[in-house]
Structure 1
Amino acid sequence: MMLVNPVTGELSEAKVVTGVDDHSRSCVIASVAERATGWAVCAAFARASQRCGVPEEVLTDNGKQFPDRFGQGGEVLFDRICRENGIAHRLTQPASPTTTGKVERFHQTLLRELLHDCGAFDSVGAAQAAPDAWVEECNSSRPHHALDMQSPAERFTPAPEQERDVLGLRVPGVLVLVPQQRTPPAELDQAEAELVGCSGEPASGRGEARAASRQTFSTRTECPARS
């Protein structure tokens, strides 16, 4: 997805932070960001958790947005969100792309049907409308072979609003205080991380209320805009 500076006409590539529920294949995150930084990934993950319910588990690769892979000590923001909200954070084995196959398959469809053909946008807000409309149609109207020809929306049940209000989500203040700034093209970098919700189990056997309030997501931090 491309952004164009309305003053200079200069183009830059935006990223799409994506999230797919592991059980229903419902897209729960499709957030446009100028850079797939740790802050952008955590903000998108937090918004999805507030809207749909806090997942029980998240499986990620070892990208820089997640564990402290450079050995500096301390706790990265993503791990802090998981710890404070009781989310089990699991890591993939290196060089194991099949572990995240569901979200990779989702990306193929997103690229083919939307991102390859959409034009440039003059702001992140304008760009966001395109995946929002596509995701709504994809979730609610499209039958899925892996779901016995049901749509993802027929399999996915967000936590009831009153339960989300009671259970809440602990969000570090930095996600509220730090605004998203427009980044000069020279500073754009490639995202290296992927986060995938792990259990993918149906709700049965967990208790109806708990299953509704603790969804599981499959997400990836960045979808390339164009080939």
Structure 2
Amino acid sequence: MAPVAMVPGELVHIDIKKLGRIPDGGGHKVLGRAAGRANQDRRNGTGYAYLHTALDDHSRLAYTENLPDEKAATCAAFLQRATDWFAARGVTVERVLTDNAWAYTKNTWRDTCRDLGISPRWTRPWRPQTNGKVERFHRTLLDEWAYQQPYTSEAERQAAFPDWLDWYNYHRPHTGISGHTPASRVTNLPEQHS
């Protein structure tokens, strides 16, 4: 059974969503399947967006960055920024839960957790449901932002992300927390919106 936090910051779920980039001119949602495939550059490819997410277990407040890779140093730097972001909102991160991806099992990750005073935890192998809250957030992110409309470029899709994340954190009712918004579960939040 997955752990449950009683207060914000007690447990933060962290994961990465690898998302295919949209080629300029649009992908298959804009051009249709055949034309969308033809628009991809097979030699260079359009690559992937690596969406790193830190999601508070208690409130479901989410912090996400689009980063160029999923290397250990990138993940460790993301953890530092995520911890700072949560701290600016009055949330002290105590524990983090990740899967057993290579980047999260290296000394770089452990050293960063130690330096930040965070206790790292890992899911059992082949049990993604243990980190299900961030996995569900990624599904919501795909349905309501990434695939919600036919974008004509990756830049257009990325430009829409900050507004979507703000809406998710401050305005979207969340069924997992009795219809409340994530921000409403964090007291003294400086950016509280109504």
TM-score range (shorter-chain normalised) is 0.5 to 0.7
Report what 1:192 is aligned to. Answer: none
Report what 2:48 is aligned to. Answer: 13
In 2, Cα distance between equivalents of 1:40 and 1:33: 8
Report what 2:121 is aligned to. Answer: 90
Letter in 2 for 1:121: E
Q: CA deviation at 1:103?
A: 1.0
Q: CA deviation at 1:112?
A: 0.9
Report what 1:145 is aligned to. Answer: 175
In 2, Cα distance between equivalents of 1:159 and 1:89: 25
In 2, Cα distance between equivalents of 1:142 and 1:115: 16
CA displacement, residues 141-164 of structure 1 (integer Å, 9 cap, x when unaligned)? 11122222211110024788xxxx
The yes-or-no answer on 1:67 pairing with 2:105 is yes
Secondary structure class of the residue paired with 1:14: strand
Residue pair 2:99, 2:123 contacting (<8 A) in 1 also:
yes
Report how many residues are paired: 147
Alignment of 1:1-227 (within 5 A): 1=19, 2=21, 4=23, 10=41, 11-27=46-62, 29-53=63-87, 54-68=92-106, 75=107, 77-116=108-147, 117=149, 119=151, 120-122=153-155, 128-157=158-187
Q: CA deviation at 1:101?
A: 1.0
What runs of 5+ residues in structure 1 fail to find an aligned partner? 69-74, 161-227
TM-score by length of 2: 0.66
In 2, Cα distance between equivalents of 1:13 and 1:121: 10
Higher relative contact order (CA closer than 8 Å, sequence separation 6+): 1
In 1, Cα distance between equivalents of 2:165 and 2:188: 16
Identity %: 33
Alignment RMSD: 2.5
TM-score by length of 1: 0.57
